[in-house]
Amino acid sequence: LTTGALLAQMLVDPVGLILRWYDELQVAQVSLARLVGVRDIEPGTGDAALAPDGRHVRAERVHFGYHEGVDVLREVSLEVAPGTRLALVGPSGAGKSTLGRLLAGIYAPGNGTVTLGGAELSRMTAERVRTQVALVNQEHHVFVGSLRDNLRLARTDAEDAELWAALGAVDADGWARALDDGLDTEVGSGGLALTPARAQQIALARLVLADPHTLVLDEATSLLDPRAARHLERSLSRVLDGRTVIAIAHRLHTAHDADVIAVVEDGRISELGSHDELVAAGGAYAALWRSWHG
Ligand code: ATP
C-alpha cells in the first residue's frame, strides 16, 4: 500500500474538529479563553510580514500533557517547510496523535508555541484556524440535513456553484447530479443512506471548500473495498497537492514515501530525515524498518 492509498482511507472532518475542540479542551484542561474569543492577527501588523507562506508549520519547545504532571510531549521543536509531507512514526503511545492534534490546533501547548505561517495558532480565532489547518481522520460525519447543509458546514457562505465544483473536485458530482433532489437531498439517518465511499467524498469535498494550507492526517483502517479506495486515493492526492501534509503513521509502511520522517519516542522527536537517511543512520527507524521487513 502506498501512503496515498492509506491517506485515501482517511476523512476530513471540519465539523468534528470544532465539536472535538470544545470536548477535548475540557479533557486537556486547556483554558478555553486562550482559543475562543481571542484576537486574530492584528490587521496591518501584516499577515504579509508574519506569514510569508501560510503552509509553513513550526513547533517550538512544545510541552503538553492531558493531566497535570504527566508529560506526553516534551520539548518538541519541529519546522515543516511549505508543501512538505512529513510522517510521524514511533511506538504506540509515544505521542504521535497528540502532536498531530497540537499542530492542527485542537489542543494548545502547555508551554511552547505552534505557529502556522508565522502566526501563533493558539491566538487565532477558530474561523481563522479553519482556513489554516484541518484534521483528516477516519471518522466521517454525515449529518441529518440536506447535502447542501452537509457541505456548507465547511463554509457557510458557499454558493451552490462552489458546492458543485467541490463535489466535482472529488469525483462525486456524477452520483450527486443523478439525485432527484440534487443538493436538497436529505441525507443522514432517515434520509438517503450514503455508502462509506460517498460519505468520504462528502468529507473530502468539505476539505476542498475549507481550503486549508495544512492538513494533519491520522491514518485509518479501511472501510472501503479496494476499487473505492483507489478511486478515493486519486481524489485525495489532488486535494493534498501543494499543501503541507503531516501524516500520523501508526504503521511503518505508510511513512516511507514521505519527504521527511520524524520518529516520536516517549514524547520527543528522536530522529528526523528521509527514509533513506534514517535507514542509513542505523537508529531506531532503521531497527523498526528491519524488523518490519524481517
Ligand atoms: P498510537 O500509535 O497507539 O495511536 P500515539 O503515538 O499516537 O499512539 P498518543 O495517542 O498521542 O500516542 O498518546 C500519547 C499518550 O497520551 C498515551 O499515554 C495516551 O494514553 C495518552 N492520551 C492520548 N489521548 C489522550 C486523551 N484524550 N486523554 C488522556 N490521555 C491521552
> Which of 72, 216, 218 to mutate to test ligand 1, by most ligand atoms within 8 A of the CB atom?
72
Q: What is the pTM of this model?
A: 0.78
Question: Residue 130: in which H helix or E strand, if any?
Answer: helix 126-132
Give me ligand 1 centre to Cα 168, in Å: 36
Record the cell numbers describing residue 84, joined without a space: 512538505
Whether ipTM > 0.85 holds is: yes
Ligand 1 pocket at CB < 6 A: 27, 66, 72, 90, 92-98, 250
Rounded to whole angstroms, the Cα distance separating 232 from 244 reads 19
The backbone torsions φ and ψ at residue 60, rounded to the nearest 5 degrees and listed phi first, read -125, 120
* Among protein residues, the one whose CA lies closest to atom 15 of ligand 1: 93
**Residues 207, 130: Cα–Cα separation, whole Å:** 10
pLDDT by residue for the chain (294 residues), tens only, comes to 333 333 333 333 334 333 333 333 333 333 232 222 222 233 334 344 444 688 889 999 999 999 988 999 998 998 888 899 999 999 989 999 999 999 999 899 999 999 999 899 988 888 888 889 988 876 667 888 999 999 998 888 999 999 999 999 999 999 999 999 999 999 988 888 888 889 889 988 999 999 999 999 887 655 667 787 788 878 888 888 899 999 998 777 778 878 899 999 999 999 988 899 999 999 999 998 888 776
